[in-house]
Structure 1
Amino acid sequence: MFQTKYTGSTPENPVQDTVFTNISISGAQKSGDAFDAKSGFGIWVNELPEPGQGPAVGSATFNNLRFSNNFQDIKNTTSTFQLIIN
């Protein structure tokens, strides 16, 4: 999960210069409990985190990314964070 802490409406430390290579993500499944809506994602760019945080800001690059057996591979509904999948 990617998320960003905010001071007021200003994001602190946006994600940048982040590259993952040869990554496998598998088995992310729904939890079936109070956190069910926030579960089951291989990669989740959090659009509405906990208090004091806002939508994730920045970008991350994944080279040779493989998914298997996830409820949903990627969730990114933000306009503030870019996932680059190569």
Structure 2
Amino acid sequence: GELYSATIENFLGMEPVMMRSLNGFIRTEFHSYWLSDPNFIGMKHVAEGEENPDDDKIYLFFSEAAMEFDFYKKLDVSRVARICK
């Protein structure tokens, strides 16, 4: 089977990562401009059909500090990301 996870890594708790374990280990590289202080909420596997399980989708739900707005205080926004299998 496969295990997908999203968490904060490193001893300071400042490196957000998404990982997949399947016959080895795959994780995202860390770039500070990809995620801004994320709060991972959950994941959902959506089966598209039994004929081709590679078409299944995995959605990641999280919130993060909005970088596209220029406010004087931190603004958290909700996000949904689709994970490629």
Q: What range describes the TM-score normalised by the shorter chain of this pair?
A: under 0.3
User: Which structure has more RCO (C-alpha within 8 Å, separation ≥ 6)?
Assistant: 1
TM-score (norm. length: structure 1): 0.23
TM-score (norm. length: structure 2): 0.23
